[in-house]
């Protein structure tokens, strides 16, 4: 059974902290994505990666960075967390040859 896992379901951080959100997939997929989801705004793409060490900005990259050192792991980094980054963060992966994007369960981040 395919699986995308995220390091935490719930996370509470303080303003100014550096935050790492981890995503791991076990399907050997080349493509990985980070979205955030907010009420009324739907899912918005933050960053994506087509391969190890590759990254591309999505629609809302400001305030975020990413790291893809290994194929199975894609990390989202909030360099200095702010309250407007309180959100649900969703990771997904996709094979180069496939059409099915698999999502993780999400991390609900609260920045105080």
Residues that bind other proteins (CB under 8 A): 4, 31, 33, 35, 42-45, 48, 58, 90, 92, 94, 96-97, 99-106
Residue 85 Cβ, how far from other proteins at the closest point, in Å? Answer: 19
Q: Can you tell me the distance from the alpha carbon of 21 to that of 75, in angstroms, rounded to the nearest whole number?
A: 6
Pairing of strands 107-111, 10-13: parallel
Count of CB atoms situated within 10 Å of the CB of 67? 16
Judged by CB, which is closer to other proteins: 18, or 95? 95
> Smallest gap, in angstroms, from Cβ of residue 94 to other proteins?
7
Residue (100 or 110) nearer to other proteins, CB = 100
Minimum separation from the CB atom of position 6 to other proteins (A): 9
Burial of 72 (0-12, 13-18, 19+ CB in 10 A): middle
């Amino acid at each position: 059974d395919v699986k995308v896992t995220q390091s935490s379901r719930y996370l509470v951080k303080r303003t100014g902290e550096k935050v790492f959100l981890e995503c791991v997939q076990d399907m050997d997929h080349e493509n990985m994505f980070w979205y955030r989801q907010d009420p009324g705004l739907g899912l918005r793409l933050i960053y994506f990666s087509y391969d190890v060490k590759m990254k591309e900005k999505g629609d809302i990259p400001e305030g975020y960075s990413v790291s893809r050192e290994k194929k199975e792991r894609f990390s989202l980094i909030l360099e200095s967390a702010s309250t407007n980054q309180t959100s649900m963060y969703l990771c997904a992966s996709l094979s180069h040859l496939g059409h099915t994007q698999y999502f993780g369960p999400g991390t609900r981040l609260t920045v105080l």
